[in-house]
Homo-oligomer: A and B are copies of this chain.
Amino acid sequence: MLRLNYKIIFHFLGLLLLFNGGFMLLSALVSLIYKDGVTSQIFTAGILTLLIGVISMFLTRNHIKEMNKREGYIVVSFGWIIMSLSGTLPYVFTESISNFTNAFFETMSGYTTTGASILNDIEAVPKGVLFWRSTTHWIGGMGIIVLAIAILPLLGIGGMQLFAAEAPGPSADKLHPRITDTAKRLWLIYFGYTVAETLFLKLAGMSFFDAINHSMATVSTGGFSTKNASLAYWNDQPIIQYIVILFMFLAGANFVLSYFAFKGKVQKVIKDEEFKLYFRFILVFSIIAAVIIYFKADHSISTIHHPMVWGRGESAFRHALFQVLTVITTTGFISADYTLWTPFLVVFFFGIMFLGGSAGSTSGGVKVVRHLILIKNGFLEFKRALHPNAILPVRYNTKAISGDIVFNILAFFILYMLSFIVGALVFSMFGIDYTSAVGLSASSLGNIGPALGSFGPVNNYAALPPLAQWWSSFLMLIGRLELFTVLILFTPFFWRNR
């Protein structure tokens, strides 16, 4: 058996449970305030989770405070799994979701900030449970930030070394799992954005409950809504949708850049190459989509009502911007069914599913910086073909990047495409048609939420067979943890000593 510091692993998992249980108690408080009748069930779930966490930490209190890479991988992967497992308790105890497979799918979808849901009637679910549901992806978003800033760069995964300008570089083989000061600062911004969006949405006319839930969903790029129609519920209130658009944009940008902006270092933001490309992608894609929606899309065939309160042009522009942002930032909110807007826009949005937001944000997918490096390297590869002896390093934010990191990113992209193809293949084994299978795979892996075909924007995942729900959960997990973190656990050499 592999020699591992099992005690420190269980100590950390216990700490996570403590954290999770605490948030469950908060949901119980929300339940109490709204008198939804399930307070005691959520409270029990919270206490039980806290208890297991405390016991686990107590039994491992005399652990050796030293952690290597392997233990790091295990803590991260199993951390997400243990959160999802314990996170099912409020659903199961309140019988909001009585089936365990469904409940696990909903929690994994939460903690991975995917936001795919098996709930058929969201509005019938007790408010305390809905708050818990929003909490899962909000916690997930916090986890992603610490992962991107403090953990993955140390593990050296998929070029993550590049992403966090402020993060300490990979210094030694030992992994010090302390949350860095950087992560704490970014959490503050994350929290601040959540508060700000809640206030804005409330001022714009949302109920306080809807405001806070949608705010958590936006900032985490999770995308769970408290309405069956998602953001389309407010299609007659452009201001609400513009607020959501703004915060999707912020949540899909690198949080480190938000930090710089608040420090007044605006130059650092506007000179950041990833930010520039992220901005350009959104701009160009929105214009293309707006033009097509305005001139080509047949609004009459949508199942979603689109009152054009500010005119047809504004409606086309807003829905184009909304759709581009919801897919690029992998939030997965719905304001329209783009699968009904010309065949081109279906393939177009499917393609955008592979972009992802910025690194150091809460968004999923491949991420803009990786595409940037791939594009730059692809261009250089042509130059290298003409001048085989020239040394042409890829440059990012004026610095030359080591070949290892470029290599890393190339391998990440290929593994991503491979996972996507295998993902679609497995879905199709359940008799799911081609378009839906391909859409499900891209959406699960990219932590987006809505897919294509039978699982498109106007559908949910309730019709997905149980085993396919587990497969989707697995894809969400590996996608969220940048593939390598989880998949390395499946390699034989990982479990070999030395």
Per-residue interface assignment for chain A, residues 404 to 442, with 1 indicating a CB less than 8 Å from any chain B CB and 0 otherwise? 001110110111011001001101110111110110000
Asked whether any CB of chain B lies closer than 8 Å to the CB of A398, the reply is no
Complex interface: chain B residues within 8 A of A388 (CB) = 156, 170, 173
**Residue A381 at the chain B interface, CB threshold 8 Å:** yes
Q: Given A351-B421, A377-B411, A411-B377, are A342 and B484 also a contact pair (CB < 8 Å)?
A: no
Whether A415 touches B346, Cβ cut-off 8 Å, given contacts A156-B385, A435-B435, is: no
| CA–CA, A350 and B435, complex, Å | 12
A354-B421, A410-B410 known; A434 vs B385 contact (CB < 8 Å): no
Q: Which residue of B lies closest to A379 (CB)?
A: B491
Residue in B414, B433, B491 whose beta carbon sits within 8 Å of that of A414 in the complex: B414
The reply to whether A343 and B437 form a contact with Cβ atoms under 8 Å apart is: yes
A69 surroundings in chain B (CB, below 8 A): 385-386
Size of A's binding interface in residues, CB under 8 A: 58
Do B351 and A484 touch (CB < 8 A)? Answer: no
Q: CA A491 – CA B386 in complex, angstroms? A: 11
Provided the pairs A170-B388, A407-B407 are in contact, do residues A350 and B434 lie with their beta carbons within 8 angstroms? yes
Within the assembled complex, what's the spacing in Å between the Cα atoms of A351 and B384? 30
**Residues of B close to A386: CB separation below 8 A:** 69-70, 488, 493-494
Inter-chain CA distance A105–B487, complex, in Å, is: 44
The answer to whether A434 and B346 touch (CB under 8 A), given A421-B351, A494-B386, is: yes
Q: Which of B342, B377, B417, B432 contacts A417 (CB under 8 A)?
A: B417
Residues of chain B lying within 8 A (CB to CB) of residue A378: 411, 414-415, 418
Residue of B347, B382, B415, B431 touching A428 (CB-CB under 8 A): B347
**Cα(A350)–Cα(B388), bound, Å:** 35
Which chain B residue lies CB-closest to A488? B382
Chain B CB within 8 A of A403 CB: yes
A452 at interface, CB cutoff 8 A: yes
A370 CB → nearest B CB, Å:
10
Identify A411's interface contact among B381, B434, B437, CB under 8 A: B381
- State how many angstroms separate the Cβ of A267 from the closest Cβ of chain B: 29
Residues of B within 8 A of A34 (CB): none
Contact status B410-A343, CB under 8 Å: no
- Partner pick for A484 among B374, B382, B403, CB 8 A cutoff: B382
Chain B residues near A384: list those with CB within 8 A.
156
Give the complex CA separation of A447 and B48 in angstroms: 60
Distance A342 CA – B428 CA, assembled complex (angstroms): 8
| Shortest distance from the beta carbon of A392 to any chain B beta carbon, whole Å | 11
Task: Write out, one digit per residue, whether chain A residues 382-397 have a CB within 8 A of any chain B CB (1) or not (0).
Answer: 1111101000000000
How far does the Cβ of A372 sit from chain B's closest Cβ, in whole Å?
13
Quick one: given A385-B156, A410-B407, are A428 and B494 in contact (CB under 8 Å)? no
Docked complex Cα distance between A342 and B425 (Å):
12
Residue of B nearest to A424 (CB): B347
Please list the residues of chain A having a beta carbon within 8 angstroms of any beta carbon in chain B: 69-70, 155-157, 170, 173, 342-344, 346-348, 350-351, 354, 374, 377-379, 381-386, 388, 403, 406-408, 410-411, 413-415, 417-418, 421, 424-425, 427-429, 431-435, 437-438, 452, 484, 487-488, 491, 493-494
Q: What are 8 contact pairs spanning A and B, CB under 8 A?
A: A69-B385, A344-B425, A344-B428, A347-B427, A347-B434, A379-B491, A407-B410, A410-B410
16 additional contacts (CB under 8 A) given A156-B388, A347-B425: A157-B385, A173-B388, A343-B428, A344-B428, A344-B431, A346-B433, A350-B434, A351-B424, A379-B491, A381-B408, A385-B484, A386-B493, A386-B494, A403-B407, A410-B410, A414-B414
Q: Ordered nearest first, which 4 A-B pairs have the shortest CB separation?
A: A347-B428, A410-B410, A381-B411, A344-B428
